[in-house]
Amino acid sequence: MFDDFLVRAAFAGLGIAIAAAPLGCFVVWRRMAYFGDATSHAAILGVALSLALSISVFTGALAVALVMALTVHALSGRGYAMDTLLGVLAHSALAVGLVAASFLQGVRIDLMAYLFGDILAVSKNDLLIIWCGAALVVSLMAARWSALLTATLNGDLAMASGVDPKREQLILTVCLAVVVAVAIKVVGVLLIVAMLIIPAAGARPLARNPESMALIAATLGGLSAILGLQVSLEYDTPTGPSIVCVAAGLFVLSVTFGRLTQRAR
């Protein structure tokens, strides 16, 4: 079944959609888009290090993404303007990663594949890593869903309920790093945050509660992956950007439908 590269690509896209959906909802609710940018941009440094040390790209990307995410987490609330801090970290990490990649001798590296993804080159091992990462993220989010919602709604309310907002933020940080590491092969570091935000934002006008928003976001993300893959094959366009373009189109449709429904009421 998995000998067909198109089937592997489709399953890879679905795995990323499932992993990104619940996390993307919290990224939208907490306005963490720039946080995701800093983490994903750092992953290219992880790619360079993994190639230099001859280790798995997933391992290198996950390690550096975790370091970046934990660094941002540690610096938050310490008097820094977060938008400025995240902007500095995001672009600095990407630049350092690209420079580091240029120093690799005797290693052939396709930067475009890591920047924009290469879903058609997903192997069986990549597919296993993607779905294991998705299972880990979904399990963590499901186990901490109520606490995460409470911490997102109101930090003081969370403390009064026995929920530590910092701990829940750390869980989101770890989940974000995992999603970045598993998604790098599919959509690339420059488009990972788009797959986190756009399906979740598109689900918002259609959802009645947080749980339905996560389910709708997963559906929109899965549709984006399948339809984007089809568009890429049909018109010979880059696959990762095609997936994001389809997600953007679905976002426009969902927002339009949501407004029409509100007017009808």
pLDDT digits (tens, 9 = 90+) for 86-136: 778 778 888 888 888 778 776 666 777 788 888 888 888 889 999 999 999
Share the mean pLDDT of the chain.
86
Question: What tokens appear for 118 in the block?
Answer: 């290469």
Q: Which residue has the tokens 């339809």?
A: 227
Least confident of 95-109, 140-154, 224-238: 95-109
181 contacts 65 by C-beta, under 8 angstroms = yes
Domains within the chain, CATH numbers bracketed: 5-186 (1.10.3470.10)
Q: Which residue has the tokens 């092969």?
A: 185
* pLDDT tens per residue, range 151-201: 988 888 888 888 888 888 888 888 988 998 888 888 888 788 899 999 999
260 Cβ contact partners less than 8 Å away, ≥ 6 residues apart: none
pTM of the full predicted structure? 0.88
For the chain, count helices (H), then strands (E). 12, 0
DSSP code for 194: H
* pLDDT tens per residue, range 51-65: 888 888 888 888 888
- Burial-class residue 183 by CB neighbours within 10 Å (0-12, 13-18, 19+): buried
User: What confidence score (pLDDT) does residue 92 get?
Assistant: 85
